[in-house]
Amino acid sequence: MEGIGIDIGGSGVRIGRVDLGSGELLAPPLRLEHTTDTPAATILEGMTSALTSFPADLPIGVGFPGVVRGTVVETAPNLGPTWAGTDLAVVLNRPGLVLLNDADAAAVAEHRCGASVGELGTVMTITVGTGIGTTLHRDGVLVPNLELGLLAHPSRGGVIESHASGRARRQEGLSLTAWADRFQEALHLYEGWLNPDVIVVGGGITERWEEWAPHITTKADLRCAQHGPDAGLVGAALAALAL
Ligand code: BGC
């Protein structure tokens, strides 16, 4: 069976067809570019017209970088104020659409057919990109909208993701090992609060896993995500089948 996965990010939207059995992309995803200043309405118009080239009867899931409830966006910390209150199922005219946080979507992909397949106990999946996405599966059940990247950093001021995200690394010109020290701090906090058994790390930073992961120590079993940049898209499509 096939589904459509959509990943809404800070600089673009990716839409792809996914095999819901294997979690594989059936073709390279379509990409629509935007900036953090592009209004939600403009991005959604682009998505509506792009979706006309996809079959109308397939399950469709959307990963969004903020808190979501049902099919409505509540927050969009990296995309500006124009998203809050948007009902994606209504605006995109897809009544069966499933909406979930982008990191939650990535965690679904890793749990259904990636780095944490079959894991019970507490599995934390963390995505590192513009922000830090944090997610928990407990005995295979996802606890949505965790948002632990936005918790206050206990010693540096600001929130955790403003020090340990990919954007922080770029903005401050941090070397990979300097960033790894920041990420270690974040992991130490998360382990103290949640005591996960397994931690899966995803996002663009995993392309250089071999270089930074040896600098990280965790009590939990630390694993590299398997779906790379496609995790959010794939997981959204998988979640559309049954969350
Ligand atoms: C947002 C999260 C999102 C994460 C990764 C954070 O800034 O608050 O909702 O999952 O970025 O995109």
Q: Render pLDDT for 180-208 as a digit per residue (tens, 0 to 9).
A: 999 999 999 999 999 999 999 999 999 99
Strands 132-138 and 122-128: antiparallel
Nearest atom (ligand 1) to Cα of 150? 8
Give me the domain span that covers residue 221. Answer: 117-225
The verdict on residue 149 lying in a domain is yes
Q: Which residue is it, tokens 């049954």?
A: 242
Cβ < 6 A, ligand 1 pocket: 65-66, 77-78, 101-103, 127, 129-131, 133, 147, 149-150, 161
Do residue 213 and residue 126 come from a single domain? yes
pLDDT tens profile 125-181: 999 999 999 999 999 999 999 999 999 999 999 999 999 999 999 999 999 999 999
Mean pLDDT of the chain: 96
Q: Give the closest residue (by CA) to ligand 1 atom 12.
A: 65
The structure tokens listed for 139 are: 């005995």
pLDDT for the residue numbered 207: 94
User: Do 99 and 12 share a structural domain?
Assistant: yes
CB atoms within 10 A of CB 243: 13
Asked whether residue 111 is assigned to any structural domain, the reply reads no
Instruction: Please tell me whether residues 125 and 170 are part of one structural domain.
Output: yes
In a domain, 123, yes or no: yes
How is residue 125 written in tokens? 């999946």
Residue that has been written with the tokens 């990191």 in this structure: 103
The Cα–Cα gap between 79 and 99 comes to 16
Buried b / exposed e over 71-108, threshold 16 CB at 10 Å, is bbbebbbbbeebbeebebbebbebeebbbbbbbbbbbb
CA nearest ligand 1 atom 10, residue: 133
